Structure formats: C-alpha cells, structure tokens
C-alpha cells in the first residue's frame, strides 16, 4: 500500500486497549510540530519507517514537506507501537476493501501480526498533516482527524457549492473577515468525519451536515461525536469518533526529542508526570497523569 494513505485504520491488539467506562471510547490525540534541525549526534528515527514510507518521504519536492511527513509517520508508528506492545518497526499497515469499488485501496488498517487472533478491542488510528503541523489519533473505535492551515475567504467562496445546504447557509450569514476561519473549521470537521467512516472524499461533501448542531434544524450524523480541536493560531483541526468519548479529548504536543533516535518509551514516560499542572486522563496508550499544554 502507499504510505501516503496510511492515515487512518484499525487493528485488534495483542494486548487489550483500555476502553472507557460503559463501552465509551478512549481517544488519544497528539500534535506533532515541524522539527527543528537536530542537535549534533541526533537524527530522526527514519530507520523505523518501512521502505514505502521512506520512498514517499524522498518524493517530496520541498524539504519542509518531506520533514513533516517523516516526523508524522515516526510519531504514528511509535504511538501505535506503545499501544500494541510492539517495536515501531513491527507496526505494519494494510488496506480494507474500497467502499466504492471493492478494490484493495480502502481504509488503511494495521496488519495482524503472528498470533493475533482478533481478540480484544480494536485499535483505530488516524493521521493528518498540513502547514508544518501533524495530528495523530489512536482510539478504541473508528476515528478520523484533520488539521489544515486556515484558508483565505476566497477558498470558502469557491468551495461553498460543494457543501451541505445548511453549511452554505451558515457561511452566508458570516462577515467576510470571519469566512476563512469558519470554513476552515467546517472543512476540518468534514474531512475528519469522512476519514472516520472510511470513505474520504469519495462521499460527496454535501451529503452530511457538519455545521453548528441544531442550526436551521439541521443535525449532525448520528452515532458520531465530532469535536473542534486546538490546532494553533493558523490552523483548523477536528476529530470525529464513532460513539461517545470516555472523557475530555485534550491534544498533547509531542516533544521533538521523541522523534529522534533516543529511548522513545522513556521520553513518553517523561511526558506523563509533571511537578505542576496535570490532569487525570485515560487514553489508549497510557493511563497516567498527563501534562496539559496550551497550543
């Protein structure tokens, strides 16, 4: 499969993922920023990527895009490895059948490993990257995330005919100076939801309402929770999960050093304990006290 499409998927873990109470969904969210040049003696853990991922990274024309792609996929592998009890190199991707044509190019999934008989809750994941930032989700139910740079108002005007009628009406009521931000957030919700259901943009964007709940009598898709996320001052971000999250869904910035050839489990452990501001949050990889960081 193309590693470019390894952006959302599912697998039954070798060891159980910690679901929330009453079957509610555990969701972990992490933000990856474009890494700065590493200090002397450090290099990104590119050896943990498979051959297709390395080839894809090498195909980008702009070094900045290649660097973000590499960092995002290292982060995804390490977070999935921590969830599954594997080494990052052991994380392998596969594909579900396409929902449109049945071909082998549908939702990215985790390939079952030896001895994996499908017992226990599934591990689902999603990845999005744009404009120097990437967003990773790992959950106990189907999940999609999207992050993108906030577009100009002109983009909203060009794309509006593709939207749901209720969404178009909502944007038409806004002043010009708020149009780009509102459209960017709306589109992030839409892409997150379409990733979550496994269709991507094969499903017409006008088919589902992802605007303000209840506005004009329109309702969002049933059985899904869609949340706006903090992506930074120049980005819009959202997560869509099937079911109800077990608790708050904070976005945790990954420290840059976690992407380099260092002891990744040790650095992840350092993230989970601080001497000052902490919050009790259970998520798929660790059930620990995690520092809340403003983006």
Which DSSP symbol is given to 140? Answer: S
Examine the domain organization and report whether 81 and 213 are in the same domain. no
Question: What is the pLDDT, as a whole number, of residue 138?
Answer: 95
pLDDT digits (tens, 9 = 90+) for 139-168: 999 999 999 999 999 999 999 999 999 999
Question: What is the pLDDT, as a whole number, of residue 94?
Answer: 85
Judged against a pLDDT cut of 70, whether residue 66 lies above it is answered with yes
Question: What is the pLDDT, as a whole number, of residue 91?
Answer: 92
Judged against a pLDDT cut of 70, whether residue 121 lies above it is answered with no
Higher pLDDT, 96 or 158: 158
Number of domains in the chain: 2
Among 90-99, 119-128, 274-283, 284-293, name the most confident range. Answer: 90-99
Residues 40, 143: Cα–Cα separation, whole Å: 38
Question: What is the pLDDT, as a whole number, of residue 23?
Answer: 73
Question: Minimal CA–CA distance to 214: which of 166, 164, 162, 161?
Answer: 166
Judged against a pLDDT cut of 70, whether residue 295 lies above it is answered with no
Residue 250 domain boundaries: 3-141+243-290
Cα dihedral 4, 223, 140, 131 in deg (nearest 10): 30
Query: Is residue 39 situated within a structural domain?
Result: yes
Examine the domain organization and report whether 20 and 162 are in the same domain. no
Examine the domain organization and report whether 25 and 137 are in the same domain. yes
Question: Minimal CA–CA distance to 187: which of 242, 149, 136, 243?
Answer: 149
Higher pLDDT, 265 or 142: 142
Query: Is residue 175 situated within a structural domain?
Result: yes
Question: Minimal CA–CA distance to 281: which of 273, 290, 268?
Answer: 290
Query: Is residue 234 situated within a structural domain?
Result: no
Q: Is 176 exposed, middle or buried (0-12, 13-18, 19+ CB in 10 A)?
A: exposed
pLDDT averaged over the chain? Answer: 81
Examine the domain organization and report whether 88 and 212 are in the same domain. no
| Residue range 23-42: mean pLDDT, rounded | 84
Judged against a pLDDT cut of 70, whether residue 279 lies above it is answered with no
| Residue range 276-292: mean pLDDT, rounded | 34
Query: Is residue 228 situated within a structural domain?
Result: no
How much is the pTM? 0.82
Question: What is the pLDDT, as a whole number, of residue 267?
Answer: 60
Judged against a pLDDT cut of 60, whether residue 4 lies above it is answered with no
- Cβ atoms of 72 and 32 within 8 Å: the answer is yes
Examine the domain organization and report whether 43 and 159 are in the same domain. no
| Residue range 27-31: mean pLDDT, rounded | 96
- Cβ atoms of 236 and 187 within 8 Å: the answer is yes
Residues 168, 208: Cα–Cα separation, whole Å: 12
Give all strands of the β-sheet with 251-253 in edge-to-edge order.
Answer: 8-11, 123-130, 133-139, 27-33, 251-253
Examine the domain organization and report whether 61 and 186 are in the same domain. no
Question: Minimal CA–CA distance to 66: which of 115, 15, 129?
Answer: 129
| C-alpha distance from residue 286 to each of 27, 217, 269, 270 (Å) | 11, 40, 9, 12
Question: What is the pLDDT, as a whole number, of residue 41?
Answer: 65
In which residue are the tokens 């969404």 written?
A: 167
Judged against a pLDDT cut of 60, whether residue 87 lies above it is answered with yes
Question: What is the pLDDT, as a whole number, of residue 166?
Answer: 95
Judged against a pLDDT cut of 60, whether residue 242 lies above it is answered with yes
Query: Is residue 279 situated within a structural domain?
Result: yes
Examine the domain organization and report whether 112 and 248 are in the same domain. yes
| Residue range 208-217: mean pLDDT, rounded | 89
């Amino acid at each position: 499969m193309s590693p470019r499409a390894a952006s959302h998927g599912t697998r039954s873990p070798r060891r159980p993922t910690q679901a929330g109470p009453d079957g509610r969904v555990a969701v972990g969210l992490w933000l990856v920023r474009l890494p700065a040049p590493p200090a002397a003696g450090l290099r990104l853990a590119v050896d943990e990527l498979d051959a297709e991922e390395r080839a894809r990274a090498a195909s980008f024309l702009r070094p900045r895009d290649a660097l973000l792609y590499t960092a995002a996929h290292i982060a995804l592998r390490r977070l999935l490895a921590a969830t599954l009890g594997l080494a990052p190199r052991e994380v392998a991707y596969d594909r579900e059948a396409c929902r449109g044509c049945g071909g082998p190019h549908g939702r990215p999934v985790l390939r079952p490993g030896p001895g994996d008989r499908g017992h226990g809750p599934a591990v689902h994941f999603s990845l999005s990257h744009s404009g120097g930032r990437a967003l990773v989700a790992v959950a106990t139910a189907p999940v999609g995330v999207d992050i993108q740079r906030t577009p100009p108002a002109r983009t909203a005007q060009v794309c509006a005919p593709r939207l749901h009628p209720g969404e178009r009406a909502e944007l038409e009521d806004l002043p010009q100076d708020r149009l780009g931000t509102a459209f960017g957030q709306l589109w992030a919700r839409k892409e997150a939801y379409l990733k979550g259901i496994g269709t991507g943009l094969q499903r017409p964007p006008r088919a589902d309402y992802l605007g303000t709940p209840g506005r004009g009598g329109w309702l969002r898709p049933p059985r899904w929770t869609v949340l706006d996320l903090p992506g930074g001052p120049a980005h819009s971000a959202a997560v869509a999960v099937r079911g109800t999250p077990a608790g708050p869904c904070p976005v945790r910035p990954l420290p840059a050093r976690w992407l380099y050839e260092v002891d990744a489990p040790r650095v992840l452990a350092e993230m989970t304990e601080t001497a000052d501001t902490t919050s009790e949050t259970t998520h798929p990889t660790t059930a620990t006290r995690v520092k809340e960081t403003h983006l």
